[in-house]
Structure 1
């Protein structure tokens, strides 16, 4: 079956995610994370790729990259192939290391760009690894704090300084919530959708002048409208919307 062609971004900015095969923790050790960072740096100039944000988790990684789409594919092909060779030799194994090819989504406006940067940096916090994104060593946030671009492109620091008055404002921005859903491993997408569903029911209760989101759950017409809005906003199936509704119900009334 032919592969689906990647969508080309009108800005040449892409959010990229790659994950280990069969949920393997291919970046479990510090030196494995460091090796991927080394390889990302090694081929940046050769392929004219600009990196604006990254985070390396145990099972997957996120990158925000500015590049021509064909160049991006070539760049990641060599980076991931070299990492796979290293990983297989290190663990005395053969075969695939990554789950299929990397996934990508287009970043086509400024708001989505900054929300994506925030989502990438907040990955370790959302995974309950650290309480503050600055405490996580394997992300680009520290480079923004020091304004010393080791891997991220110099323009990343320039646009950050143009957008935010100082690093404290930038760090505060990371604490804000977003209703956008980003590509990720399935478990993380589910968490994003659950947060969205909770935020939506509270927003709908406020918009309709209700005292509590419980009123949406208690009234048939209101809960049907809420589930339909979940389907429309998240572009999910009716079955998935019902599952999210049940999660929200348990959170709000405990049943």
Structure 2
């Protein structure tokens, strides 16, 4: 069955999700997240789009942007190709990093624009990563409160108030509201406990102890590591339970 064409936004604004292949971790280290933000800025300068929000999670990314000079498909190819080229070079890997087709939804009015904005910024809070939005380093929330680096804040803040200080206070108050409104998101598997992960490792890799994987031949080791990722274990969890370095897990 052919894929359905993407809905075209009349406003030019889209909520986008980029997801790691097979739920793969996209950001292993802080350097990776920093590089992706640099990629966003560089592609923004070339493509001329407006960026209203971002949030980098371990295995997926939320973006809220408005296409202007280039269409969305070109923008996303530019972002993806640049980051994947760098990431593959760093970790000595090849092939795809992102799921081949990014998800997108149109944003056609100011009310839903603000709903999506809050939804994106509240991702780390709902995931239990922080207790206060300002403490999460990898979202655009702080760019609205402090100083903008790559976000076009003026348009959003003017929806709250004409005076900038009042707008920022209203922006903060708006984000303190716990909303039940739903936006496009990814379907996440239930987090696998270490006890469950150990069983998967022993059965799937046919070993008596998790650390036995360290002694395997390279080809067999890579097969096992790939199998564990496909079964929902995180890169950090695999490395911690088997003693195999995260770099080797990612490369496999």
Relative to the length of structure 2, the TM-score reads: 0.69
Does residue 129 (structure 1) correspond to residue 138 (structure 2)? The answer is: no
Q: Is the 8 A contact 1:144 1:157 kept in 2?
A: no
Corresponding residue number in structure 2 for 1:172: 173
Q: State the 1:90 CA deviation.
A: 1.2
For structure 1, which segment, 13-22 or 63-72, has the greater mean C-alpha deviation from structure 2 after superposition? 63-72
Task: List 4+ stretches of structure 1 deviating above 6 A.
Answer: none
Work out the number of aligned pairs and report it: 188
Q: State the 1:13 CA deviation.
A: 0.9
Does residue 151 (structure 1) correspond to residue 188 (structure 2)? The answer is: no
Corresponding residue number in structure 2 for 1:183: 184
SS in 1 for 2:73: helix
SS in 2 for 1:187: coil
Q: Is the 8 A contact 2:13 2:66 kept in 1?
A: yes
Q: State the 1:179 CA deviation.
A: 3.3
Q: State the 1:102 CA deviation.
A: 1.1
CA distance in 1, matches of 2:4, 2:68: 18
User: 1:20-54: per-residue Cα shift (whole Å, max 9, x none)?
Assistant: 11111111311111111000000112212000011
Corresponding residue number in structure 2 for 1:100: 100
Distance 1:31 1:53, change over 3 A: same
Distance 1:69 1:22, change over 3 A: farther
Corresponding residue number in structure 1 for 2:230: none
Q: Is the 8 A contact 2:48 2:70 kept in 1?
A: no
State how 1:1-255 maps to structure 2 within 5 Å.
1-68=1-68, 71-146=71-146, 148-156=147-155, 158-160=157-159, 162=161, 165-187=166-188
User: 1:132-159: per-residue Cα shift (whole Å, max 9, x none)?
Assistant: 111001111111002x321112534552
Query: Structure 2 regions of 5+ residues with no counterpart?
Result: 191-252
Distance 1:160 1:27, change over 3 A: farther
Relative to the length of structure 1, the TM-score reads: 0.68
CA distance in 1, matches of 2:148, 2:159: 12
Query: Structure 1 regions of 5+ residues with no counterpart?
Result: 191-255
Q: Is the 8 A contact 2:36 2:83 kept in 1?
A: yes
